[in-house]
Structure formats: C-alpha cells, structure tokens
C-alpha cells in the first residue's frame, strides 16, 4: 500500500512537471523549432537580452505587479481593520459579499466589466484611447484586494483586543497603538497577502488582456506569440522565471525546516 | 471612545469607495450594455439572441464538469497520500505542487502541443514501439486534459489543507467502534473533507467553464467554448459589445447558480468555500 501510494504521488508529480521539462529542454534547442530537437544552444538566452519587446513587457509586468501589490496591500489592510470595526453587521456582511465577487466571478467577466467601465468613462471624458497603464493597474489592484483582505482578516480576528487597550492605557495614541501593537501581530497575514497579490498580478492574462490597451505585459506578449508560432525564446524566458521561483521556494522551505528543527532542539533543553 | 472607533471605521472608506466604483459599477454597466442596443435604446434582442450559442454553453458546461470530476478523482488520493508523509516532506510536496502555478499558464498549456502533436514527443515514442501515430491534438480530450492540467493544483491544495487538519482522534474513535478502512473513509474522512472538495471544485470549475485560451490552443477551431464566443465578439469591435455583454451576463448568472447549488450541497454554513 505504501509503495503504491508513493508511485501514485510520483506519477502526479510527473504529470505536473512533464510540460515544464519539455519547455526547459526546448529552450536550449539550436533551431527555432519547438517540435524537433536539433542540437544544444544557449543562443535564445543571449538573444533575450537584446529583445526589446520582451524586455519592455517584462518591465511593464514588474511595474504593475509591484505597484498593484503595494497599493492593494495598503488599502486592503486598512480595509480589513475598518471592516471589522463596523458596528452595523449587515453593512459588514454586504461589504464582505462584494469583496467575494472578483474571487468568485470568472476572470473573463471581471475583465470585460472593467473594460466596459473604462471605455464608458473614457467616452464621457472624450478620450480617444481609454485603455493603458492606469486601467491595467486599477484592474490588478481590484482583483488583488480581496486576497489581501482575506489573508489579513483572520490574523486580526486572532489578535487579542486587550493588547490594543493596554497600549492605549499606557499612553499610545490610536495610531501608535496600531503601528506598535496591531501591525506586528498581523504582519504574517500582510506578507501572505502581498505575496499572493504579487504573484497573481505577475501571472494574470485574462483580465490584463481586456484592460491593458497598448500597455502590454508579458503574458499578453506570450499570447500574441502563441497566436503565430512560438520560438524557443519564449521558453527561455519562462525557464528563467521558473528557475528563479523554484530556487527561491526550495531555499525558503529548507530555511523553514531548519528553524523548526532548531526550535525543537531548544524545547528539548 | 466613540471618536476612536469612528476613526478605525473610517480607514475602510478608501476600499469601500474603490469596491463600489470598480466592482459594483462595472457590473451595472455590463447590465446596461446587455440590455441596450448600439445607440443606447433598451432592448431584449441581445439576450434573445443567446439561444444561438446554446451549443457553446452546453459544451462549456460539459467539458468543465468532466474535467472537474477527473481533477477531483486525481487530486483526492494525491492530497490523502500527502498527509501520510513526514511533515517536512509534506511541506516540500506542497511546494512542488504549487510551483507550476507560478509559471505562466499560457506556456504551460502551449507546451502540451509539443507533447501531443502528430510529430510530438508522445507519438514519436509510440512510433518507436510500432504504434500510432494517434491524433491527440485538436480533440475534446486534449481540451479536457489542458483544463485538468492547468487547474489541478487548485484542487489538491484545499483538499490537502482540510485533510491535514483532520482530528486523528475521530479516526481512532471510528476504528474503536468497529469501522473497517472503507467505512471509516466513507463515514468519517469523506464527509469531513467536504469543505475542501467544495472549494476545490469551485476553483477548478469556474476557470474551466469560462476559459478561451485552452480551447483555442488544444482544441483548434472546432471547439467553440462560451469564453471563445465572448472573446470573439469583443475582438470584432464596439458594435458587438452589447451582444458580448449579454453572453457574459448569462455566463455570470450561470456560474452564480452553480456556486449556489454547490454551497447548498455542503449544508454546513461555516463558509468552507474560502481557502
């Protein structure tokens, strides 16, 4: 039974990684085919450094991901605090239901409804081109916010409200109490929310597709490429992103296991 | 005191304003587009024309349902076996399951073409064994495979997180009361993992039913899913926004009904839908 279950886990992992391995292999292909492997070459990697379309798109993607994650984290954390402070429970429920909409709705519907909004207001303002940097940024902040709120809120609920009262009794202003007492105790929730927002934004295709106009992000460029024919440079870029994430996560994991082990040893003493 | 709590309520204001403008208003505008014609006059013609896309709706729901079921059947044992391992290997495996999610899903989908094509890796391999070539690309199977592959982590993770928190003493109690392995699974483990299953099913079904990329790449032009129809109309330009909005509206309502039915199924109201 044990070996059977191991084999099963192995097969699922193989299924998850087979296309990834194919992609990595063909990023080193000498010819421009992603079908037939003709020889080893790193030219697609060096070629990336001079591909301005790709580099610009990468820059756009990173700018949007960082900005939208930061703004969503700030607004979302404040929102989580404020929503919990609402005395009117019906209003609280209503706000939370609206918050769930972007998570529950299909991306294509969210993308289209935002695009219609931007075009609608663009027309009112008499703009020729209503889609661009700001609209894609707004769209990303909008779909990031629920994830931030829902990662911060459980941490806030766990925080002992007496801590805040103690801080106030000891002479903190409410603002100081927030930054000195509440914020440290919800910091893991904020970090989780930020990371989720950042990665969601980095990877988003559908919503950007409908809201970005000429401000094209990497997924949009990749989409346009796969419409014609993919060359190994797209695979090379994806391989780089994949390796960076892979190394970071494995490293993080090892660190976490180590710190856990050392804390266990500490208890033993 | 009253003043202070007013202050902390006030900091939700930016978000509330934001969510009204960018979540509620866009949906209202979508309604408006769906119920008017090009010159802004009220009409039901857009909604009435949806009958033409019955087939696309039907195929979308069918494919999404099949791929959600397959995903569930593949993911449940995976999540279950994961909980049987050492804690450190569990965490490692969770990472391994999550890492492909960080790769662009367009690339993940596209690289299946290299595997499935007539001259692709699988057929070349089978050819060496004297089999095939089989037509794997541009088939319904390829589209369903793409959906299963792209969304399976969203099924494994919530089920795993529910199973790993399962109270061990309940399982012991079931054993003490004479349950064998199968009844223990059926009467204790499965009912308790329902919130994870519901959450996983939602997270796989919604993107599957509304996708347009997977069907375009792996299904060729033959399979028009409802997402493809919407995307097609939007690309035709502003004249077609009204019809496209009407289809999107129907898709949204359909998804909401599915979610509502599924939540009824779960018959517990502890809000297990959120991961």
How does pLDDT run across B178-233, given as a tens digit for each residue?
A: 777 788 878 888 888 888 999 899 999 999 999 988 998 898 877 789 999 999 99
* A54-63 pLDDT, tens digit each: 889 989 999 9
Mean pLDDT of chain A: 87
Alpha carbons B151 and B208: distance in angstroms, whole number = 8
What residue in B sits closest to A149 (Cα-Cα)? B15
Q: What is the pTM of this model?
A: 0.87
Q: Does B185 touch chain A (CB under 8 A)?
A: no
- Is B88 part of the contact surface with chain A (CB cutoff 8 Å)? yes
Q: Are B57 and B254 in contact (CB under 8 A)?
A: yes
Give the mean pLDDT of chain B.
86
Whether residue B274 has pLDDT greater than 70: no
From the list B5, B12, B238, which residue is nearest A78 (CB)?
B12
B42 phi and psi, to 5 degrees? Answer: -60, 135
Query: Tell me, what's the pLDDT at A263?
Result: 65
Cβ count within 10 A of residue A231? 17
Instruction: Report residue B209 as tokens.
Output: 């039913």
- Chain B residues with CB under 8 Å of A54 CB are none
**Chain length of chain B:** 275
Which is it for the CA torsion A184, A185, A188, A192, positive or negative? Answer: negative
CATH of the domain at A139: 1.10.3720.10
Q: Which of residues 149-168 of B touch A (CB under 8 A)?
A: 149, 152-153
Lowest mean pLDDT among A70-84, A98-112, B125-139, B248-262: B125-139
A165 domain residue, yes or no: yes
Q: What is the pLDDT of residue A267?
A: 47
- Domain contains A21: no
Measured between alpha carbons, how far is A141 from A36 in angstroms, rounded to an integer?
42
pLDDT band at B271 (very low <50, low <70, confident <90, very high): very low
Is B41 a member of any domain? Answer: no
Residue A267 lies inside a defined structural domain of this protein:
no
Interface predicted TM-score (ipTM) of this complex, two decimals: 0.85
Contact B194, B24 (CB under 8 A): no
Residue A178 lies in a domain: yes
| Whether A109 and B256 lie within 8 Å, measured CB to CB | no
What is the percentage of chain A residues whose pLDDT exceeds 90? 35
Least confident of A134-138, A144-148, B123-127: B123-127
d(CA A69, CA A64): 8
- Answer whether residue A225 is part of any domain: yes
Chain B interface mutation, best of A37, A93, A112, A232, highest count of B Cβ atoms under 10 Å: A112
Quick check: is A12 in a domain? no
CB atoms B8 and A174 under 8 Å = yes
Number of domains in chain B: 1
Domain CATH code at residue B72: 1.10.3720.10
Determine the distance from the C-alpha atom of residue A35 to the mean position of all C-alpha atoms in its chain, rounded to a whole number: 31
Compute the average pLDDT of residues A74-97. 91
DSSP state letter for B85: S
Pick A19's closest partner by Cβ from B5, B93, B108.
B108
Asked if omega into B133 is within 30° of 0 (cis), the reply is: yes
pLDDT cut 70: percent of chain A above it: 96
Does residue A142 belong to any structural domain of this protein?
yes
Pairwise CB contact (< 8 Å): A219 & B104 = yes
Burial class (CB in 10 A: 0-12, 13-18, 19+), A168: middle
| pLDDT tens readout for residues B108-167 | 888 888 888 888 888 888 888 888 778 888 889 999 999 999 999 999 999 998 998 887
Q: Closest-CA residue in chain B for A217?
A: B104
- The reported pLDDT for the residue numbered B269 is 46
Confidence band (pLDDT; 50, 70, 90) for A127?
confident
Which chain A residue has its CA at the smallest distance from B25's CA? A117
List, as ranges, residues 255-274 from B with C-beta within 8 Å of A.
255-256, 259, 274
Residue A258 pLDDT exceeds 80: no
Residue B270 pLDDT level (bands cut at 50, 70, 90): very low
Assess whether pLDDT exceeds 60 at residue A243. yes
* A50 lies in some domain: no
Range A103-131 average pLDDT = 90
Percent of chain B with pLDDT over 70: 93
Nearest to B26 among A76, A114, A223 (CB): A114
> In terms of residue numbers, what domain contains B143?
54-266
**Cα separation values, A23 from A158, A226, B130, Å:** 44, 14, 26
B 36-65 → A contacts, CB under 8 A: none
- Domain count of chain A? 1
Q: Can you spell out the DSSP letters for B156-185?
A: HHHHHHHHHT--HHHHHHHHHTT--HHHHI
Predicted confidence (pLDDT) per residue in A198-238, tens digit? 888 988 999 999 999 899 998 998 888 888 777 788 888 88
Which tokens is B76 given? Answer: 């449940």
Domain that holds residue A145: 61-238
């Amino acid at each position: 039974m044990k070996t059977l279950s191991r084999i099963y886990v192995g097969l699922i992992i193989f299924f998850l990684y087979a296309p990834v391995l194919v992609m990595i292999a063909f990023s080193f292909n000498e010819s421009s085919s992603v079908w037939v492997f003709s020889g080893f070459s790193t030219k697609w990697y060096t070629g990336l450094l001079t591909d301005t379309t790709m580099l610009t798109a990468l820059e756009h993607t990173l700018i949007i991901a960082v900005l939208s994650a930061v703004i969503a984290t700030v607004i979302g954390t404040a929102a989580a605090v404020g929503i919990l402070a609402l005395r009117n429970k019906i209003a609280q429920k209503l706000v939370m239901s609206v918050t769930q909409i972007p998570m529950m709705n299909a991306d294509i519907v969210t993308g289209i409804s935002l695009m219609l909004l931007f075009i609608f207001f663009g027309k009112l303002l008499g703009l020729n081109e209503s889609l661009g940097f700001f609209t894609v940024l707004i769209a990303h902040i909008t779909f990031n916010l629920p994830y931030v709120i829902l990662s911060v809120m459980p941490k806030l609920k766990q925080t002992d409200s007496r801590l805040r009262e103690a801080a106030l009794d000891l002479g903190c202003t409410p603002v100081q109490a927030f930054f000195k007492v509440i914020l440290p105790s919800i910091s893991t929730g904020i970090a989780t929310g930020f990371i989720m927002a950042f990665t969601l934004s980095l990877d988003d295709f559908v919503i950007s597709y409908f809201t970005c106009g000429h401000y094209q992000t990497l997924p949009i460029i990749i989409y346009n490429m796969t419409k014609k024919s993919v060359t190994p440079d797209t695979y090379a870029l994806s391989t780089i992103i994949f390796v960076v994430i892979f190394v970071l996560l494995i490293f993080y994991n090892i660190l976490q296991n180590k710190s856990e082990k050392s804390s266990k040893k500490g208890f033993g003493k | 005191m009253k003043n202070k709590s007013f202050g902390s309520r006030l900091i939700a204001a930016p978000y509330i304003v934001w969510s009204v403008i960018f979540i509620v208003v866009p949906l209202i505008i979508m309604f408006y587009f769906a119920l008017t014609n090009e010159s802004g006059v009220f009409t039901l013609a857009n909604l009435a024309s949806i009958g033409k896309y019955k087939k696309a709706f039907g195929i979308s729901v069918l494919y999404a349902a099949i791929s959600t079921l397959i995903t569930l059947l593949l993911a449940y044992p995976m999540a279950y076996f994961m909980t049987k391992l050492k804690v450190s290997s569990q965490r490692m495996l969770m990472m391994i399951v999550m890492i492909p999610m960080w790769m662009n899903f367009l690339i993940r989908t596209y690289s299946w073409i290299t595997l499935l094509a007539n001259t692709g890796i699988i057929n070349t391999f089978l050819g060496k064994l004297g089999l095939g070539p089989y037509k794997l690309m541009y088939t319904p199977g390829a589209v369903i495979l793409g959906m299963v592959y792209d969304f399976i982590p969203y099924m494994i993770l919530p089920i795993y997180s529910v199973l790993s928190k399962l109270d061990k003493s309940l399982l012991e109690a079931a054993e003490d009361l004479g349950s064998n392995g199968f009844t223990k699974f059926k009467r204790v483990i499965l009912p308790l993992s329902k919130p994870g299953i519901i959450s996983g099913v939602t997270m796989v079904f919604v993107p599957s039913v509304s996708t347009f990329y997977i069907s375009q790449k792996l299904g060729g032009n033959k399979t028009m899913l409802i997402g493809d129809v919407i995307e097609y109309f939007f690309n035709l330009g502003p004249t077609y926004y009204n019809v496209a909005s009407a289809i999107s509206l129907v898709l949204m309502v359909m998804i909401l009904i599915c979610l509502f039915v599924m939540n009824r199924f779960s018959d517990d109201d502890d809000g297990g839908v959120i991961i």
